[in-house]
Chain A
């Protein structure tokens, strides 16, 4: 279905939003992905992906949580929506299905 499929990086960001549960914003997502996947990310890419996800309705956002580090500026905090959770479940189910379908012989 158009608009509901997830790109690889989009899925990663959406998962991070779910993991961070309420404290998901640009920097925290970036650090999480960097730590877990050991790849470098650019903060602007994450922002762009977050806006795309919000447009698709998988996350919602609000401003809040200013800190001194940020010079008193608000964060845009993202939360996963039900649709977001559903699309994650969907892609996980698809993967599991395909995993199970792999004949064992291929790993020898």
Chain B
């Protein structure tokens, strides 16, 4: 049987919240009332109602007050006291508190932002359920290292190596895709993919069956968003799409969820691999055809992928029955999660990130936070005199040093929590912008990204403790006797340290400014570098892939008045990836060597402004297709020839051919046919009879560019009504290669600005404080006859010294680090020492502006005002 008593837990709750002024009467009445209820309504109801009554009694005036709460324990009372004194000192020195909080808020915002960015970058492809077991096979050829692999590799390895659990291949193409019914025509990136792709790349189907969706030829799956673009609100399942270059329609067999934004590949349409001839198992000579095609393997846990790469390479050598003269196979397996940051090969699916960017930004984040923390240290120690009496009294009353350290630490944490509030607001504002500039999709919603909370709190406490630890020890070391007697006048060591910290701040800011300058000048250099060909006013047009006579179009367009000249070529200069094996006279091996190949018609040198060094370029009447070669300077050197003897040397596609080998007819001057990140490699050029499905370069006479472009467009539409006129300016397509560098440059600029701003904020505070202290000294000087300018000079000099010193000390660091960065580019602008002058001018200029306000104020104040209150 239950005891007739109100529920104990309700009573505990009541005792917890209710102030002692009210508890007695309230609890007494409630108990009495409870007994009264038990008689009328029964025990259970009464107990329930008791609790409801307890809640009803919860009025603000009955709650325990802060004082009452803190009376419970000594610690709480101390906390309360710390809080009050901290708050008072913050409010009393509004300017300095604001400088501290704003500086820390900006520093923390940068730091949080960059941490989020780094977190995003490090988590690439980690959401794949088998992230640690997936490897991409990539191939090294003599000419370059590629991110691609041969079509039959996957099946061959699965058959011969039991450790291969599964594999999937993807091959991107970018044709026009049409829905004839609704007359939708979109240029769409489509990946031909094996059915296993769902499992290997962890792609989830919203509708359709994973087992069957991509098994049959001419099946296709889309993302919801793409399905909407093609079919509107209709159900896409079972509907069909036509893909340019395919006879049969593709049936939609599934809708899939797109991969997370931090994946090294983004897919929104896939067609079954059986629909693409080279991916079919019975394709003739599949090994001879290497293109942008990627193979992913699922391997067991903790797999030694490096050893497996060697094993597979040897296996392939035997499989292809290579002779000792042939170049060896070299296959590497890259862990999926390392692709984004560590892989920088030719023909990557998308431009990858760079692990160095992560290091650079992490360093910047740390240093900006450091600058903000230094502000805090400087201002707190500078102002410590004001707190000295408080510390003295506390010590006399019996505070231990540890307690005082704790008090000042909690004060700095309080400041950093205020800063956190501001920086959370800033982050919410900035992240969308940041995503725009950096091209990322950072998630700040803690529901989706739990680590956000940890990052925010971690950085806040780090900043609070880091910034507060030195001032805390400094202030708590005051000797009470001196302080209270009033003989304590600050210590010289403290001043040196403050100056030292300013030196450090400006040293950091200096390095970041130099970095910004170097990154941007390198970018400028690459954008304007002489590529060895002329990319101004040149239109690149995609040619139709059916043989409808490239010559005809070329001749027709040449008749237009604004067109200067036209050339057809197989790859866009600046983005070439085509390599092939050639044999050349004097080669060590009979099999020749893999080199970059390029083909442009006889008008190439004239249209793109390339120059011949020796011999001739191909001419209109040559019919020696694939039999005559033009090589670049690098190739001459690489093959061990000289400019004088190169013309006339024998050369051939593929291996050595005894009868009728081809011949070198000319040497062309080097031009950048690949990305500027890379050096110019040997290049062999040949002539082919047609350039179907390739490109046409149209050089336009200076004059009205847009008019000529529209004239070309309308002529094209008359001649080739069935084909879209797709064009790009050569210089634009070139600029887009530098997206990464541009973003880096922009972000660097922003951070440099912030670093300088926070440093100056600290300097501003320090100047304000110091000059206030020196008020009387300045006044006395004025009375003695000092001029305003001499006082301004005197006071400014004091502040500029650490600034200049910091910059001088930082110069070697800046030089070394940026020079290292520049070495990563095959062609760099070089480190121009003039940047030091610029950076110094910016630093000193901004610092001078910052302090001049206070220096002038000090100089023009009437000495009477400063002196009379003695």
A45 to B843, CA, bound (A): 69
Report how far A63 CA is from B29 CA in the complex, Å. 12
Q: Is the CB of B57 within 8 A of A47?
A: yes
Contact with B along A21-33 (1 / 0, CB 8 A): 0000111001100
Q: Once the chains bind, are A71 and B31 in contact (CB under 8 Å)?
A: yes
Q: Tell which of A26, A31, A42, A69 touches B25, judged by Cβ atoms closer than 8 Å.
A: A26
Q: A47 to B31, Cβ gap below 8 A? A: no
B56 and A44 form a contact (CB under 8 A): yes
**Pairwise interchain contact B53-A75, C-beta atoms closer than 8 A:** no
Shortest CB-to-CB span from B38 to chain A, Å, is: 12
Choose from A25, A51, A73, A74 the contact partner of B31 (Cβ within 8 Å). Answer: A73
Contact A74 B25 (CB under 8 A): yes
Q: How many A-B pairs with Cβ below 8 Å?
A: 55
CB contact under 8 A between A70 and B26, given known A42-B53, A44-B56, A48-B59: no
Residues of B near A44 (CB, < 8 A) are: 53, 56-57, 59
CB of A76 within 8 Å of the partner chain: yes
Query: Is B53 in contact with A69, judged by CB distance below 8 angstroms?
Result: no
A31 contacts which chain B residues (CB < 8 A)? 36
CB–CB A43/B25 < 8 A: no
With A42-B56, A44-B56 given, is the CB distance from A63 to B25 under 8 Å?
Answer: yes
Question: Is B33 among interface residues, defined by CB-CB distance under 8 A?
Answer: yes
B18-64 at interface with A (beta carbon < 8 Å): 24-33, 35-36, 53, 56-57, 59, 61
Docked complex Cα distance between A73 and B33 (Å):
13
B45 to chain A, nearest CB (A): 12
- Asked if A43 and B53 make an inter-chain contact with CB atoms under 8 angstroms apart, the answer reads yes
Which of these, A43, A66, A76, contacts B33 with CB under 8 Å? A43
Binary contact track A46-70/B, C-beta < 8 Å → 1, others 0: 0110010000000000010011011
Residues of B within 8 A of A63 (CB): 24-25
- Complex: A44 Cα to B59 Cα, angstroms: 10
Chain B residue at minimum C-beta to C-beta distance from A26: B29
Mark interface residues in A68-86 (1 if CB within 8 Å of B CB, else 0).
Answer: 0111011110000000000
Provide the bound-state CA to CA distance between A63 and B56, in Å.
22
Shortest CB–CB separation between residue A23 and chain B, in angstroms? 13
A42 / chain B contacts, CB cutoff of 8 Å? 53, 56
Q: Which of A45, A69, A74 is within 8 Å of B24, CB to CB? A: A74
A20 to chain B, nearest CB (A): 14
* Chain A residue nearest to B40 in the complex (CB): A34
Residues on B with beta carbons closer than 8 Å to the beta carbon of A51: 61
B36 with A75: CB separation less than 8 A: no
Nearest A residue (CB) for B56? A44
CB closest chain-A residue, reference B54? A44
Judging by beta carbons under 8 Å apart, are B53 and A70 in contact?
Answer: no
Cβ contacts B50-83/A at 8 Å (1 or 0 each):
0001001101010000000000000000000000
Q: What residues of chain A lie closer than 8 Å to B24, measured between beta carbons?
A: 63, 73-74
CB pair B57–A70 under 8 Å, yes or no, is no
- Contact (Cβ within 8 A) A73 B28: yes
Are A27 and B53 in contact, with the CB atoms below 8 A?
Answer: no
The CA-CA distance from A67 to B53 in the complex, in Å, is: 21
- CB neighbours of B25 from chain A (8 A): 25-26, 47, 63, 73-76
Chain B residue contacts of A27, Cβ below 8 A? 29, 32-33, 36
For the complex formed, measure the closest distance between the CB of A28 and the CB atoms of chain B, giving whole angstroms.
Answer: 9
A90 to chain B: closest CB distance in Å?
Answer: 28
Contact A74 B53 (CB under 8 A): no
Known: A42-B53, A44-B53, A47-B26. A70 touches B59 (CB 8 A): no
Contact B35 A69 (CB under 8 A): yes
Q: Is the CB of B29 within 8 A of A47?
A: yes
Alpha-carbon gap, A5 to B30, bound state (A): 29
CA distance A63 to B23 in the complex (A): 12
Min Cβ gap B10→A in Å is 13
Q: Which residue of the partner chain B has the closest CB to A43?
A: B33
Contact A70 B56 (CB under 8 A): no
Q: How far, in whole Å, are A47 and B28 apart by their CA atoms in the complex?
A: 12
Query: CA–CA, A57 to B61, complex, Å?
Result: 18
Give the Cβ gap from B18 to chain A, nearest Cβ, in Å. 12
Q: Which residues does chain A contribute within 8 Å of B35, judged by CB atoms?
A: 69
Q: How distant is A61 from chain B, measured CB to nearest CB, in Å?
A: 9
Bound form: Cα–Cα A21–B61 in Å: 27
Query: Are B59 and A43 in contact, with the CB atoms below 8 A?
Result: no
* Nearest B-chain residue to A70, judged by Cβ: B28
Whole-angstrom CA separation of A66 from B31 in the bound complex:
12
Determine whether the beta carbon of A43 is less than 8 Å from that of B29: yes
Known: A31-B36, A43-B33. A73 touches B53 (CB 8 A): no
B99 to chain A, nearest CB (A): 46
**A51 to B: closest C-beta gap in Å:** 8
What are the residues of chain A within 8 A of B30 when measuring CB–CB?
Answer: 43
**Chain B residues positioned under 8 Å from A75 (CB to CB):** 25, 28-29
Closest-CB distance, B17 to chain A (whole angstroms) = 13
User: Chain B residue with minimal CB distance to A67?
Assistant: B32
Give bound CA distance, A30 to B53, whole Å: 13
The closest CB in chain B to the CB of A48 belongs to: B59
The answer for the CA separation of A47 and B32 in the assembled complex, in Å, is 14
Measured in the bound complex, the distance between the Cα atoms of B32 and A63 in whole Å is 16
Q: In the bound complex, how far is the Cα of B32 from the Cα of A69, in angstroms?
A: 6
**Least Cβ–Cβ distance between A70 and chain B, in angstroms:** 4
Q: Is the CB of A26 within 8 A of B33?
A: yes
Q: How far is the CA of A41 from the CA of B491 in the complex (A)?
A: 71
User: Residue on A with the closest CB to B52?
Assistant: A42
Contacts of A48 in B (CB 8 A): 59
B28 lies within 8 A of A66 (CB): yes
Look across to chain A and name the residue whose beta carbon is closest to the beta carbon of B50.
Answer: A43
Q: How far is the CB of B382 from chain A (nearest CB, A)?
A: 51
Tell me which residues across on chain A come within 8 A of B28, comparing CB atoms. Answer: 66, 70-71, 73-75
Query: Contacts A25-B29, A42-B56 given; 6 further ones with Cβ under 8 A?
Result: A26-B33, A43-B33, A45-B56, A70-B28, A73-B25, A74-B25
Q: Which 7 A/B pairs are nearest by Cβ-Cβ distance?
A: A73-B28, A26-B29, A70-B28, A44-B56, A76-B25, A27-B32, A44-B57
Binding site for A on B (CB under 8 A): 24-33, 35-36, 53, 56-57, 59, 61
Can you list 21 pairs linking A and B with CB atoms under 8 Å apart? A25-B25, A26-B29, A27-B29, A27-B36, A43-B29, A44-B53, A44-B57, A45-B56, A47-B57, A63-B24, A67-B32, A69-B31, A70-B28, A70-B29, A70-B31, A71-B27, A71-B31, A74-B25, A74-B28, A75-B29, A76-B25
